Amino acid sequence: MPSIPYEQLFENSAKWAASLTKNDPTYFERLASEQKPDYLYIGCSDSRVPANEIMGVEPGDVFVHRNIANVVVHTDLNVGSVIEYAVAHLGVKHIIVCGHYNCGGVQAAMQPRDLGLLNPWLRNIRDVYRMHEKELEAIPDEKRRYERLIEFNVIEQCMNVIKTAVVQRSYLHHGGPIVHGWVFDLAKGKLVDLNIDFEASLKSVQRLYNLGAELSSTH
C-alpha cells in the first residue's frame, strides 16, 4: 500500500467528519454525549484488521482493546481494566476475541528465537502451542498448522476472559455478556466464527474458576 503523508491525515479526518455530518449535522454532538456499546472487541494490533470496519459498525458501537496477537493475560492490568470497565460500567452484552490469519505475533511465537522484550508476551502463545501440541504436530501442512494455532489461541484467550470474576458475576446476575471467538481471514476479507459454546465453556472451568458465585455471596 502507498505511504500516506502525515499532513494528509488531517485532511482525511476532515473529509471523514464532513461525510458524516452532511446528512446528520448533529452526528458528533450525539456521539460525544455518551457511549453505550453492546460489544467489547479484543483484537490484534495488526494495522490490517480495524475493528469497526470488519464488523461493519459505526463509532460508539464497539469498545475496543488491541494488543499483539489478541492475548488476554490476567496479570495485564490493561486488558483487565478494559474488561472490567466494559462489563461493569458499560454493560456490554457480548465480548469478542478476534484473531486473524497471517498473524505476525503468532508466527513469531512458533519460531525458536530470542525476541527480547517480546519473549514474555509471546510465551503465552507458546503455552497455547504446548497445550495443543499433539494435535498441532499431527498437521503436516505448515500453513494449516499455523492457522490452527491462531484458532487455538483465540479459543484459549476466550477461556481467559470467561475465567474473570467480572464476567462470571455479570453473567450470574444479568445473563451476559456472552463470549465469542472469531478469526478474520485477511486473504478473503471474511470473518470466521469459531462457534464457542459459552455456557459449556463456563461450566468446564467453574470447578476451579467459579468466582462469580463466591463474590455474589459476599455482597
**Rounded Cα gap, residues 113 and 65, in angstroms:** 27
Q: How large a percentage of the chain has pLDDT more than 90?
A: 86
What lies within 8 Å, CB to CB, of 126 at 6+ separation is 109
42-46, 154-158, 204-208: the lowest-pLDDT one: 204-208
pLDDT over 80 at 93, yes or no: yes
**Rounded Cα gap, residues 44 and 106, in angstroms:** 10
* DSSP symbols for 149-161: HHHHHHHHHHHHH
Using one digit for the tens of pLDDT, what is the confidence trace for 141-188? 999 999 999 999 999 999 999 999 999 999 999 999 999 999 999 999
Active-site residues: which are they?
44, 46, 48, 100, 103
Task: Determine the 3-state secondary structure of 124 from DSSP.
Answer: helix
Q: How large a percentage of the chain has pLDDT more than 70?
A: 96
pLDDT over 90 at 99, yes or no: yes
CA atoms within 13 A on the CB side of 169: 15
Q: Which three cell numbers stand for residue 11?
A: 485532511
Own/partner contacts of 125-134, CB < 8 Å, gap of 24 or more, are 125/69, 125/71, 125/149, 125/153, 128/152, 128/153, 128/156, 131/156
74-83, 104-113, 130-139: the lowest-pLDDT one: 104-113
The amino acid that residue 191 corresponds to is L
**Rounded Cα gap, residues 97 and 178, in angstroms:** 11
186 neighbors 102 (Cβ within 8 angstroms): yes
Q: List residues bridging with 65 in a β-sheet.
A: 42
**Rounded Cα gap, residues 159 and 213, in angstroms:** 18
**pTM: predicted TM-score of the whole model, two decimal places:** 0.92
Q: What is the mean pLDDT of the chain?
A: 93
Helix axes 198-209, 165-174, angle to 10 degrees: 120
What lies within 8 Å, CB to CB, of 59 at 6+ separation is 31, 52
